[in-house]
Amino acid sequence: MSSNSSDITVSVEGLGKKYWLPGHGSGRGGRVGLMGLHFKEYLSFLGKKRDEDYFWALKDMSFEVKRGEVLGILGMNGSGKSTLLKILSGVTMPSTGRATMHGRVGSLLEVGTGFHPDLTGRENVFLSGSLLGMSKAEIKSKFDEIVYFSGIEDFIDVPAKRYSSGMYVRLAYAVASNLDSDVLILDEVLAVGDAQFREKSRESMENASKQGKTILFVSHNISAVSQICTKGIVLSKGKLVHSGSIDEVVHYYKKDIHSIPTDIDSDSLLSPKQDLRGAPRHTNSPKDNQFITSVSLHQSDGQPTAYFKTGEDIRVRIGYNVGNEPYSYFTIFFLDQLGNRVMTVQSDHDLETLKVKGAGVIECVIPSNRLGSGEYILMLDYGRIKSTYVCLDCVPSAITVSISLGDYLNGRSTLEGQGFIAQKTNWIIK
Amino acid sequence: MTKNSDVPLIKIIEAHQPWWRLNLADAYDKREICYVFAWRKISTLYKQKALGIVWGLIEPLALLIIMTAVFGYVMRLPTNGYPYPVYAFAGLMPWLLFSKATTSVSNSLMENMAVISKVYFPRLIIPVSSLAKDIFDSVMSMAVLLSLVVYYGFPLSAKYLLLPFFMGIPIFAALGIGLWVSAPMVRFRDLQHVVAICLQVGMYASPIIYSAKMVPENLLPYYTLNPMSWAIDGVRWIMLDQPLEFTISFYLSMALTLAVFISGLFIFSIFEKLSVDVQ
């Protein structure tokens, strides 16, 4: 593709958005009391406006997207992703800068915008379609296609409140996916619906980009983003911190934002025991804390190993060295190769709080694990329960465990896309 | 009709937009959304109700019966000789349209925040479309009123051609006030109570349950600055042939209504842009 400037469909220059938010960041309602804050918030025109009363949800953002590109927008909660999409879709105005978009812009910030539960599916298609910017004639001509895509032909004249949530979402997305716009803005749409439907919507997005539509796509789902998008940007605290090809961006996001080391070969962690003193820590954990000292994996008989079969017990022993912590917890996250959390086990699933003091070892027994074949990286988290979880030390990549299905499923294996979890079942014809 | 498929369309989103830009053409362009909203409001209004649409008639009828009983028979308010039910209903109908429409328009933005914060379309569509339900109700009450008029033996005349004008006054007045209030109300819900109180006051400041003849002569020029007094007496003039004299106050009150409406458009255009951020 040539880098002709006419190919650029979305151009964002110096975009920023501030919110009037007195008392933010001060923790206890700021200098003024609660009552004062209430009046300050509601009668803001009376007092002097200070710079620190503003919160910049988005600051000085610039990027460009070319025709046919699918831009993935990554970032943690509160990084400004949704604010950016709201500005681009016109829902809210920017405080600084400008965005230029060429062609018809369609946005889907929520599945089922404008749907009314008392109206029938047919009526809702027209309602939602025209809200998203389609003309009545357009909806009419695409109606059959929309209903076919949704797969709920038999229920199209039933009030939407009688739909299952799946049907509701399918119909809503079917309307949006038939939106004939040049720029499509999507927020976390793949988070809804079952796997089959997600696959369907993923395909429709791919088709749309092949037809030359430009797509801006926000998701927390790293694997979805890396599958669909061609380019990406990473936002952090309202700023654009990285942009580039999607592989590069996903790599950056995992490494620097989520502290999932991508440069460390997960195979190098594949051993029964790891010394964690000096291992890289998660950005969320307080600096210089080294409370977690080691981790080791054991079979039910105590034999150390990194290789397990589905259905076997896994014993995870975590070595610690702490001060005096009467209300602590331990968490073990099982992450797949893309950083998705496959399983999370936590000490307070069993014991309310743990009393730990000095150096010691805690053992977590996972009886007959149900993980499917693959290698999983363990992320260890230790902290204090004080109405919320306060992280004190977190090792994002502590050790790798390798699981093979063995004969758990009667010697059969699960295929790709059949999930992470293996579950033995019994089938009887009655 | 597939428009702008060849013409390159450029959408620019900028930090600062001049306050005087109303983008009315944009709203007119998207008028289909207005119809959709109006239709959604009307068609969902009477769903899941056994009597459905009939409630649109029962409500004003109940009010009429109560008013006739209290003011017509117990208090015996003078009506210049007209039968009380038809006299009161002719006043009640424009008033109900005005008061319900003012409430719906004022609340419209707040009630539709969920949609507004998820999809963009010209926001002016929201208050305008919220009128539809009240106009619809009013048309039904009109049928009741006309049967009353015929029942009491008043003739139908060519004056009825002016009915849309007098019924247009409450619509424009309500839209004007509603446009002023609706966007600030998203931020200050307190305004809901203010509007409710003002409408209560307004009901007694308009010649609905009583006749404008009862107002002291020296106050009348100020009393008749209220556009609703013209709407009400206009309807009575058409239907009951009650004499109506267009004084200077008539033109002043019409000018006032127009001024509120036009300034409301600007106020709305300025404040609706902030509404998503402050809700």
Alpha-carbon distance of B244 to B242, in angstroms, equals 6
Choose the weakest-confidence range: A57-71, A193-207, B111-125.
Answer: A193-207
- Segments forming the whole domain that contains residue A163: 66-257
Of B14, B32, B48, the CB nearest to A98: B14
By a Cβ cutoff of 8 Å, what residues of chain A touch chain B?
A: 16, 19-20, 42, 86-105, 107, 109-110, 113-114, 116, 118-119, 123, 126-127, 130-133, 135-138, 159, 182
**Looking at residue A339, which CATH number applies to its domain?**
2.70.50.60
Indicate whether B3 belongs to any domain: no
The answer to whether the CB atoms of B13 and A87 lie below 8 A apart is yes
Q: Is residue A395 part of a domain?
A: yes
- Residue B155 neighbours by CB under 8 Å, 6+ apart: none
Query: Would residue B19 count as lying in a domain?
Result: no
Pair (A174, A222) in one structural domain: yes
Mark whether A237 and A386 lie in a shared domain.
Answer: no
Same domain, A234 and A322: no
For residue A1, the model assigns a pLDDT of 40
Q: Say how many domains are in chain B.
A: 1
Q: How far apart are CA B242 and CA A25, in angstroms?
A: 67
Mutate to test the interface with A, among B3, B4, B14 (most CBs of A within 10 A): B14
> A421 in a domain, yes or no?
no
Q: Which domain holds residue B159?
A: 24-278
How confident is the model at residue A32, as a pLDDT?
52
Residue-level length of chain A = 430
Task: For residue A119, give the amino acid letter.
Answer: L
To the nearest whole number, what is the mean pLDDT of chain A? 83
Same domain, A85 and A211: yes
Choose, out of A21, A60, A82, A118, the residue to mutate when testing the contact with B (most B CBs < 10 Å).
A118
Instruction: With cut-offs at 50, 70 and 90, classify the pLDDT of residue A88.
Output: very high
Mark yes or no for CB contact A118/B47 under 8 Å. Answer: yes
Assigned domain for B170 exists: yes
Among B8, B48, B273, select the one facing A102 at the smallest CB separation.
B8
CB atoms within 10 A of CB B218: 8
Q: Which residue does chain B place closest to A94, by CA atoms? A: B15
Question: CA B240: distance to chain centroid?
Answer: 23
- β-sheet bridge partners, residue A99: A12, B13
Q: What is the pLDDT of residues A213-252, one digit of tens each?
A: 899 988 777 777 888 889 999 998 889 988 999 888 888 8
Q: For chain A, say whether B151 makes contact (Cβ under 8 Å).
A: no
Q: For B102-144, how does the pLDDT look when each residue is reduced to its tens digit (9 = 90+)?
A: 999 999 999 998 888 888 889 999 999 999 999 998 998 898 8
Query: Residue A365: phi, psi to the nearest 5?
Result: -100, 125
**How high is the pLDDT of residue A37?**
62
- Residues A283 and A237: their CA atoms lie apart, in Å, by 14
At residue A3, does pLDDT exceed 50? Answer: no
Q: What is the C-alpha to C-alpha distance for residues A92 and B275, in angstroms, rounded to an integer?
A: 9
Q: Do A130 and B43 touch (CB under 8 A)?
A: no
Same domain, A120 and A253: yes
* Residue A73, domain member (yes or no): yes
C-alpha to C-alpha distance for B161 and B191, rounded to whole angstroms: 37
- The two counts, helices (H) then strands (E), for chain B are 12, 1
CATH of the domain at A191: 3.40.50.300
Q: Is residue B16 part of a domain?
A: no
3-class secondary structure, A16: strand
Chain position carrying tokens 């047919």: A122
Average pLDDT, chain B: 88
Which residues of chain A does B19 touch, with a Cβ-Cβ cutoff of 8 Å?
Answer: none
With CA atoms as reference, the chain B residue closest to A90 would be B120
Is residue B7 domain-resident?
A: no
Asked whether residue A31 is domain-assigned, the answer is no
Tokens matching residue A5: 């400037």
Strand partners, A363: A317
Q: What is the dihedral of CA B230, B236, B237, B240, to 10 degrees?
A: -170
B5 within some domain:
no
- Whether residue A271 is contained in a domain is answered as yes
- The answer to whether residue B2 sits within a structural domain is no
Same domain, A82 and A180: yes
What are phi and psi for residue A374, nearest 5 degrees? 145, 175
Domain-embedded: residue B54: yes
Last residue of one domain, picked from the residues A204, A233, A257? A257
Q: What whole-number distance in Å separates Cα of residue A256 and Cα of residue A35?
A: 41
Q: Which of A257, A275, A290 is the last residue of a domain?
A: A257
Instruction: Tell me what pLDDT residue B42 has.
Output: 86
Residues 6 or more apart from A385 whose CB is under 8 A from it? Answer: A327, A328, A329, A348, A353
Q: Is residue A11 part of a domain?
A: no
Q: Has residue A17 been placed in a domain?
A: no
* Same-domain check for residues A122 and A186: yes
Q: Does the pLDDT of residue A45 top 70, yes or no?
A: no
pLDDT of residue B6: 47
The string of pLDDT tens digits covering residues B142-161 is 988 998 899 999 988 999 99
Same domain, A203 and A290: no
Give the DSSP H or E segment for B272. Answer: helix B248-278
Of B20, B88, B41, B12, the C-alpha closest to B242 is B88
Same domain, A247 and A284: no
Residues contacting B251, CB < 8 A, separation 6+: none
A152 and A236 share a domain?
yes
A285 and A211 assigned to the same domain:
no
Do residues A285 and A247 share a domain?
Answer: no
| Count of domains forming chain A | 2
d(CA B260, CA B254): 10
End residue of a domain, out of A257, A278, A305: A257
* CB of A382 closer than 8 Å to CB of A355: no
Q: Which residue has the tokens 């073990």?
A: A332
B25 reaches A (C-beta below 8 A) = no
